[in-house]
Amino acid sequence: MKCFVMAVLAAAVIAGFTRTATAAENGKKTKKQFTLNPIGTVQKAGGKTRLVIDKEVAPALLGLDGWSHVWVFWWFDRNDTPQRRATLQVHPRGNRNNPLSGVFATRSPARPNLIALTLCKIISIKDNVVELEKIDAFDGTPVLDLKPYIPGYDSAEATVPDWLKK
């Protein structure tokens, strides 16, 4: 009986520890989460801007050379902290003269999900390397996805707030 109690206690301690670790990994969220695996990396060197796509997913580039522009989805990896991901409102462009705005109304790099989006002009594609005209991401930034830019689907006659026009 004593042995059984010890075994159960040992099991309970470890199970308890494991539950704690899992809760921490999940950031205390009980809701469903989704997982992103980077597909490549931004490389800025020698005056060139390139996306170096992981070789195992490089077959997914087939035919991208038929398009002039691509949406690059990347991760604001320098902001991947609980504090930055809890940021809900900012002054756009860090300028306190701009009205306090929700991050969903700005392109702030601090936001709940750190997905960044940039429309880029393709210069060339060779094997697993896509050379771009430019991108507003740092060297070494993880890349998440590429999608071709479709003019009719991806553009609109739009209005914007006054602070953007300054």
Q: Report the site for its own copies in 83-112 (rule: CB under 8 A).
A: 88-89, 99-107, 111-112
Q: Which of 46, 82, 94, 151 binds its own copies (CB under 8 A)?
A: 151
Q: CB nearer to its own copies: give 48 or 136.
A: 136
Q: Which of 55, 126, 127, 161 binds its own copies (CB under 8 A)?
A: 161
Q: Cα–Cα distance between 34 and 37 in angstroms, integer?
A: 10
Q: Cα–Cα distance between 41 and 31 in angstroms, integer?
A: 29
Query: For strand 101-102 and strand 89-90, is the pairing parallel, antiparallel, or unpaired?
Result: antiparallel
Q: CB nearer to its own copies: give 52 or 64.
A: 64
Amino acid sitting at position 157: E
Residue 67, C-beta contacts closer than 8 angstroms, at least 6 positions apart: 122, 148, 149
Q: CB nearer to its own copies: give 16 or 48.
A: 16
Q: CB nearer to its own copies: give 8 or 123.
A: 8
Q: Does 129 bind its own copies (CB under 8 A)?
A: no
Q: Cα–Cα distance between 104 and 19 in angstroms, integer?
A: 33
